[in-house]
Homo-oligomer: A and B are copies of this chain.
Amino acid sequence: MEYDKFIGKYVGRTELRVDAYGKVTGRAKYSADLAPKDSYVAKVLHSTIGNGEVVSIDIEEAKKVDGVVGVFTCFDVPDIEFPTAGHPYSLDPGHRDLCDRHLLNKRVRYYGDDIAAVVALDEVAATKALKKIKVEYKEYPVFTTAREGLDKNATPLHPNLFKDNVIAHIDFKTDKDFDYDKAMEEAKKQYGAENLVEIVKNVKTPLISHSHLELPVSYAYVDTNGKITVVASTQIPHIVRRCVAHALGVPMGKVRIIKPYIGGGFGNKQDALYEPLNAWLTTKVNGHPVLLEISREETIVSTRTRHRMDADIKGVCTKDGKLLFRKITNYVANGGYASHGNSITAKCAGIFKNLYKNPMGCSSEAYTVYTNSPTSGAMRAYGVPQSVSFAETLADDLCFKAGLDPYKFRMDNIVEEGFKDGGNVFYTYGLKDAMKIGHDHIKWEEKREKYKNQTGNIRRGVGMCCFMYQTAVWPISLEVSGVRMILNQDGSMQLQIGATEIGQGADTVFSQIAAETTGITFDKVYIMSTQDTDLTPYDSGAYGSRQSYVCGNAIHKCGQIFKKNILEYAIHMKPEYKVEDLDVDNNNVIIKKSGEVILTMAELATNAIYEKDGLNNHIHAEASIETTTNTFASGCCFVDIEIDMKLGLITIKDIINVHDSGTILNPALAIAQVHGGMSMSLGYAMSEELLVDEKTGRVLNDNWLDYKIPTAMDSPDFHVEFVNMKDPTGGYGNKALGEPPAVPPAVAVRNAVLNATGCMMNEFPMTSQRLVAEFKKQGLI
Binding site for B on A (CB under 8 A): 18-19, 21-23, 25, 27-29, 33-34, 36-37, 88-91, 221-227, 242, 245, 251-254, 261, 286-287, 475, 477-478, 480, 482, 484, 486, 488-494, 496, 524, 526-529, 534-535, 537-538, 602, 606-607, 609-618, 620, 622, 624, 626, 628
Whether A615 contacts B610 in the complex (CB less than 8 A), given A27-B222, A225-B22, A528-B535, comes out as no
A19 contacts B91, C-beta separation under 8 Å: no
Do A286 and B537 contact each other (CB < 8 Å), given the known contacts A224-B19, A610-B88?
no
Q: Which of B478, B482, B609 contacts A480 (CB 8 A)?
A: B609
Determine the chain B residues whose CB is within 8 A of the CB of A624 once the complex forms: 616-618
Chain B residues with CB below 8 A from A88, complex form: 610
Please measure, in the bound complex, the distance between the C-alpha atom of A23 and the C-alpha atom of B226, giving whole angstroms.
11
Instruction: Look across to chain B and name the residue whose beta carbon is closest to the beta carbon of A475.
Output: B612
Per the bound structure, the CA–CA distance linking A242 and B610 in Å amounts to 12
How far apart are A21's CB and chain B's nearest CB, in angstroms?
Answer: 7
CB-based contact B610/A478 at 8 Å? yes
Given contacts A19-B224, A226-B22, A253-B492, contact A616 B622 (CB under 8 A): no
CB-defined contacts of A226 to chain B, threshold 8 Å: 21-22
Residues of B within 8 Å of A494, CB to CB, are 534-535
By the criterion CB–CB under 8 Å, are B253 and A526 in contact? yes
Whether B620 pairs with A489 at a CB distance below 8 angstroms is no
Shortest distance in angstroms between A521's beta carbon and chain B's nearest beta carbon?
A: 11
10 contacts between A and B (CB under 8 A): A27-B221, A33-B36, A90-B610, A91-B610, A224-B529, A251-B602, A480-B609, A494-B535, A614-B626, A615-B626
Instruction: Please tell me how many copies of the chain the complex holds.
Output: 2
The CB with the most chain B CB atoms within 10 A, among A19, A490, A529, is that of A490
**Those 3 A-B pairs whose CB atoms lie nearest each other, nearest first:** A22-B224, A253-B492, A618-B624
Q: Give every chain B residue within 8 A of A611 (Cβ-Cβ).
A: 91
User: Which residue of chain B has the shortest Cβ distance to A626 in the bound complex?
Assistant: B616
Query: How far apart are the CA atoms of A535 and B527 in the complex, in Å?
Result: 10
Give the distance in Å from the alpha carbon of A710 to the alpha carbon of B622 in the complex. 49
Of B245, B475, B537, the contact of A618 (CB 8 Å cutoff) = B537
- Which residues of chain B have C-beta atoms less than 8 A from A614's C-beta? 626, 628
Contact, CB under 8 Å: A27 / B251? no
**In the complex, which residue of chain B has the Cβ closest to the Cβ of A20?**
B224
Residues in B whose Cβ lies below 8 Å from that of A34: 36
> In the docked arrangement, what's the CA distance between A613 and B480, Å?
11
Q: A91-B611, A225-B529 are in contact. List 8 more A-B contacts (CB 8 A).
A: A34-B36, A88-B610, A91-B607, A224-B529, A227-B526, A252-B489, A253-B524, A618-B624
CB within 8 Å for A612 and B224 given contacts A534-B528, A622-B622: no
* Shortest CB distance A18–B (Å): 6
Which residue of B is nearest A615, CB measured? Answer: B626
B28, B225, B488, B628: the one contacting A252 at CB < 8 Å is B488
Nearest residue, chain B, Cβ from A623: B618
- Closest residue of chain B to A474, judged by CB? B612
Given contacts A22-B224, A33-B36, contact A251 B490 (CB under 8 A): yes
Quote the shortest CB–CB distance from A538 to chain B (angstroms): 5
Give the distance in Å from the alpha carbon of A237 to the alpha carbon of B110 in the complex.
Answer: 52
A22 to B229, CA, bound (A): 13
Let me know if A478 and B612 touch, CB within 8 A. yes
Q: Which residues of B sit under 8 angstroms from A527, Cβ to Cβ? A: 225
Contacting pair B224 A480 (CB below 8 A): no
Q: Min CB distance, A228 to chain B, in Å?
A: 12
Task: Tell me the smallest distance from the CB of A585 to a CB of chain B, in Å.
Answer: 18
C-alpha spacing A614/B480, complex, angstroms = 9
What's the dominant secondary structure at chain A's contact region?
A: loop
Q: In this complex, what residue of B is CB-closest to A287?
A: B27
Q: Report the Cα distance A617→B481, complex, angstroms.
A: 10
Query: What's the Cα separation between A264 and B222 when bound, in Å?
Result: 23
Cβ of A492 to closest chain B Cβ, rounded Å = 3
Could you say which residues of chain B place their CB within 8 Å of the CB of A33? 36
CB <8 Å contact, B526 and A225: yes
Residues in B whose Cβ lies below 8 Å from that of A618? 480, 482, 537-538, 622, 624
In the complex, what residues of B have CB within 8 A of residue A477's CB? 612
Q: Name the residue in A222, A251, A477, A489 with the highest tally of chain B Cβ atoms < 10 Å from its Cβ.
A: A489
CB-CB under 8 A from A524, the residues of chain B are 253
List, in ascending order, chain B residues with CB within 8 A of A622's CB.
Answer: 484, 618, 620, 622
What's the minimum C-beta distance from A422 to chain B, rounded to whole angstroms? 13
A453 vs B681: C-alpha distance when bound (angstroms): 101
Residue of B nearest to A227 (CB): B526
Instruction: Decide if B480 touches A616 in the complex (CB within 8 Å).
Output: yes
- Please name all residues of chain B whose beta carbon is closer than 8 Å to the beta carbon of A478 when the two chains form the complex: 610, 612, 616
Looking across the interface, which residue of chain B has its beta carbon closest to that of A18?
B225
Cα–Cα, bound, A491→B251 (Å): 9
Q: Quick check: B224 and A261 within 8 Å, CB to CB? A: yes
Residues of B within 8 A of A224 (CB): 19, 21-23, 27-29, 261, 529
Cα A492 to Cα B225 with chains together (Å): 14
For the complex, what is the distance from the CA of A90 to the CA of B613, rounded to whole Å?
12
Question: Of all chain B residues, which has the CB nearest A613?
Answer: B626
Residue of B nearest to A524 (CB): B253
| Closest chain B CB from A478 CB (angstroms) | 5
The answer for the CA separation of A480 and B618 in the assembled complex, in Å, is 9
- When chains A and B are docked, how far (Å) is the Cα of A205 from the Cα of B538? 55
Chain B: minimal CB distance from A13 (Å):
19
Alpha-carbon separation in the docked complex, A527 to B628 (Å): 34
CB contacts (< 8 Å) of A25 on chain B: these are 286-287
* Distance between Cα atoms of A23 and B223 in the complex (Å): 10
- Provide the bound-state CA to CA distance between A33 and B288, in Å: 13
Q: Which residue from B242, B261, B488 sits with its C-beta under 8 Å from A489?
A: B242
Of chain B, the residue at the smallest CB distance from A492 is B253
A27 touches B609 (CB 8 A): no
A493's nearest neighbour on chain B, judged by CB, is B253
Distance A251 CA – B600 CA, assembled complex (angstroms) = 14
CA gap between A494 and B36 in the complex, in Å: 24
Is there an interface contact between A534 and B526, defined as CB atoms closer than 8 Å? yes
Residues of B within 8 A of A486 (CB): 534-535, 537
- On whether A223 and B27 interact (CB within 8 A), knowing A488-B253, A490-B252, the answer reads yes
Q: Which residues of B contact A617 (CB under 8 A)?
A: 624
Q: A480: nearest residue on chain B (CB-CB)?
A: B616
CB distance from A99 to the nearest CB of B (A): 17
Q: Shortest Cβ distance from A73 into chain B, in angstroms?
A: 26
Q: Please, which residues of chain B bring their CB within 8 A of the CB of A538?
A: 609, 618
A251 to B488, CA, bound (A): 10
Bound: A28/B91 CA distance, A: 37
Find out whether the CB atom of B225 lies under 8 angstroms from the CB atom of A91.
no
Residues in B with CB closer than 8 Å to A245 are: 490
Smallest distance from the beta carbon of A491 to chain B beta carbons, Å? 8
**What's the least CB distance linking A534 to chain B, in Å?**
5
